[in-house]
Amino acid sequence: MVLQSGKARRAERRGGSNPLVGGTNPAYAAELTLPHHRLADEPVPADTALQLVRDELMLDGNARLNLATFVTTWMEPQARELMAECADKNMIDKDEYPQTAELERRCVNILAELWHAPDPEAIIGCSTTGSSEACMLAGMALKRRWSKLGRAGKPNLVMGTNVQVCWEKFCEYWEVEPRLVPMEGDRFHLSAEQAVARCDENTIGVVAILGSTFDGSYEPVAEIAAALDELAERTGLDIPVHVDGASGAMIAPFLDPDLEWDFRLPRVASINTSGHKYGLVYPGVGWVIWRDKAALPSELVFNVNYLGGDMPTFALNFSRPGAEVAAQYYTFVRLGRDGFRAVQQASRDVATDLADRIGRLGPFQLLTRGDQLPVFAFTTKPDVTSFDVFDVSRRLRERGWLVPAYTFPDNRTDLAVLRVVCRNGFTHDLADLLIEDLTRLLPELERQPGPSHDPETSTAFHH
Ligand SMILES: *Cc1c(COP(=O)(O)O)cnc(C)c1O
């Protein structure tokens, strides 16, 4: 056992270091110290290790009260069971686990159909560890497609300043100039006009987000595509669109079937989603699909041996667990179209209802209403001077709620908001409790002489 000398002395004073004395729990009686910087010399029993690591993790938040994250925090016990059974399967080993590979293929087909791929035979797609990897792959395909045009100059990518950080990473890692369209007034995401204005012969693509993480709003994908069609007609510049549907690509097919944002628009070359957001699977699984082989230059695709044949793969990672893919297929089997529609509609109902009630509390002003992604952002009204959104976030935290407050990017750094993400498992009952807590703490906040929190020092996790 690994005893620190001080603790060893204390143990000695108590009459020895036998962890089993008096029937006390060995994990605590032994006063084990967990390794922080170097491996301990000796092993500990499995039960002891489990208890000690579990105890550390008590300090993590309660996922169900976390209204900050988009990532799935609840799955059915049957899904957990399936995931545990598949924990040892390696996604890359298509030969050893051909049926996991088959489930991945079925998931790709199902998504391609949901996203209206005109020719299901032509699509090419794969699972990833999440949307970030999916976006890297989609961005690489855009860049390679552009570089084959043989243009001189540095490639650029046009997108709203509200993109998720993965796009800034993509540009940095792959040496692409990010052309970020700033927010302006009440426009919090990309517009067609602003996107086209920044395109030139070195633009590898335009990223449209179906569901902005800042406020849950859908970007006008069809308008952006139409404006790029018009640009192509006028100038010959044929610039593809990638839709970052991390959240919305699993919402819109079920709740907004008439909204054209996907492969119905010929200009949309590729789409990604996070299986672990509204795909309802625990982290980490994402998906990316290209319309056809022309959208994904073939030299990016590597072939792995699969049952003696060749299987195309395109990924940044090599080995990764098969459990998430099995779980994604489980959600498809389990819910079907009607089930998905019901689950997503429930989240949207909770979001719109909660947004509405928060709007009626008095001091708050809604930026969005939860009727696109089941996500909404709100701020304080201009006449509220005694507190700010950071105070609200901090006080809700005291009750266990995680509702992030953050400042908007250029040109709206004057605007700070709170954001609520409603997910499967966040019920009307929990929403009632949140409203009760908010209602209870408002009088106290209103008695403050002014905001007690320095927004400069605040940090917020939004993704
Ligand atoms: C969450 C998110 C990402 C990153 O997705 P991960 O699955 O967490 O890697 C990218 N883009 C958007 C719009 C997102 O919401």
Helix (H, G, I), strand (E, B) or coil at 160: strand
Select from 378, 404, 397, 405 the least CA-distant residue to 437: 397
Please give the structure tokens belonging to residue 325.
């893919």
Calpha distance 3→265 (Å, rounded): 65
Calpha distance 190→220 (Å, rounded): 8
In this structure, the answer to whether residues 97 and 205 fall within a common structural domain is yes
In this structure, the answer to whether residues 106 and 158 fall within a common structural domain is yes
Q: What is the DSSP letter of 219?
A: P
In this structure, the answer to whether residues 361 and 408 fall within a common structural domain is yes
For residue 24, what pLDDT is reported?
59
Query: For position 238, which CATH number holds?
Result: 3.40.640.10
In this structure, the answer to whether residues 105 and 253 fall within a common structural domain is yes
Distance 349 CA to ligand 1 centre (A): 23
Strand 177-181 and strand 156-160: the pairing is: parallel
In this structure, the answer to whether residues 321 and 353 fall within a common structural domain is no
Strand 364-366 and strand 124-128: the pairing is: unpaired
For residue 71, what pLDDT is reported?
95
Select from 305, 364, 402 the least CA-distant residue to 70: 402
412: Cβ contacts below 8 Å, ≥ 6 apart: 183, 184, 188
User: What are the backbone dihedrals phi and psi of residue 224, each rounded to the nearest 5 degrees, phi first?
Assistant: -65, -45
Ligand 1 atom having least distance to the Cα of 277:
7
In this structure, the answer to whether residues 265 and 123 fall within a common structural domain is yes
For residue 15, what pLDDT is reported?
42
> What is the rounded (10 degree) CA torsion for 260, 262, 265, 270?
160
- Convert the pLDDT of each residue in 288-335 to its tens digit: 999 999 999 999 998 877 767 777 788 898 889 999 999 999 999 999
In this structure, the answer to whether residues 12 and 120 fall within a common structural domain is no
41 is in which domain, residue-wise? 5-57
For residue 455, what pLDDT is reported?
55
Distance 242 CA to ligand 1 centre (A): 14
In this structure, the answer to whether residues 324 and 349 fall within a common structural domain is no
Residue 441 inside a domain? The answer is yes
pTM, to two decimals: 0.91
In this structure, the answer to whether residues 325 and 445 fall within a common structural domain is no
For residue 18, what pLDDT is reported?
53
For residue 1, what pLDDT is reported?
44
* Side-chain half-sphere exposure of 332, counting CA atoms within 13 A: 19
What residues does ligand 1 touch, defined as CB less than 6 Å away? 70, 130-132, 135, 164, 166, 209, 213, 244, 246-247, 274, 286, 463
Residue 69 inside a domain? The answer is no
For residue 453, what pLDDT is reported?
65
Mean pLDDT of each 10-residue bin along the chain, 463 residues long: 46 47 60 84 90 90 88 95 95 88 95 96 94 98 96 96 97 98 95 98 98 97 98 97 98 98 98 98 97 93 76 85 97 98 98 98 97 98 96 94 94 95 94 96 95 63 49
Give how many domains the chain has, as a whole number. Answer: 3
Calpha distance 372→249 (Å, rounded): 11
For residue 94, what pLDDT is reported?
83
Select from 116, 105, 109 the least CA-distant residue to 260: 116
In this structure, the answer to whether residues 272 and 197 fall within a common structural domain is yes
Distance 131 CA to ligand 1 centre (A): 5
